[in-house]
Amino acid sequence: MILITGGAFQGKKAYAMETFSLEEEDFADGESCPWDAVFRSKGIFHFHEYIRRCLRAGREVGTLAEEIFRQNPETVIVVNELGSGVVPMDAFDREYRETAGRICCALAKDAKEVHRVVCGIGMVIKHG
């Protein structure tokens, strides 16, 4: 699994497509894809929105990272960094931000590679 992270609108998906030879149709959109798409797609973008959807629907996310590793170990996950700004006042938004951060930490821990993209430029922060 490869994790690509960075701020919003930094070119993460374009970077993923170019770096890992992926096409638009290879990606599931976390905002709207079927629940099981993360376990079968070559790439997942808006992964943070997938987590938000899961929480709003009351779905269990405690083992999401492990399930992705088990069922889709070669996927490329593209996710926005969420924890660098002002702490949200809304309780759900705080829970979502913390949950997304914890899931991404779990993904990064076992990922083959982790990339951070800023201004369309990718930096490998974990390899091998």
Task: Evaluate whether 111 touches 44 at the Cβ level (below 8 Å).
Answer: no
Query: How many CB atoms lie under 10 A from the CB of residue 65?
Result: 22
Reading across the β-sheet that carries 27-29, which strands appear in turn? 27-29, 43-45, 76-80, 2-6, 113-118, 121-127
pTM over 0.85: yes
- pLDDT tens over the chain, length 128 residues: 999 999 999 999 999 999 999 999 999 999 999 999 999 999 999 999 999 999 999 999 999 999 999 999 999 999 999 987 788 899 999 999 999 999 999 999 999 999 999 999 999 999 97
Residue 33's H or E segment, with its range, is none
Query: How many CB atoms lie under 10 A from the CB of residue 9?
Result: 8
The per-residue pLDDT for 84 is 79
Dist. CA 37–CA 121, nearest whole Å: 28
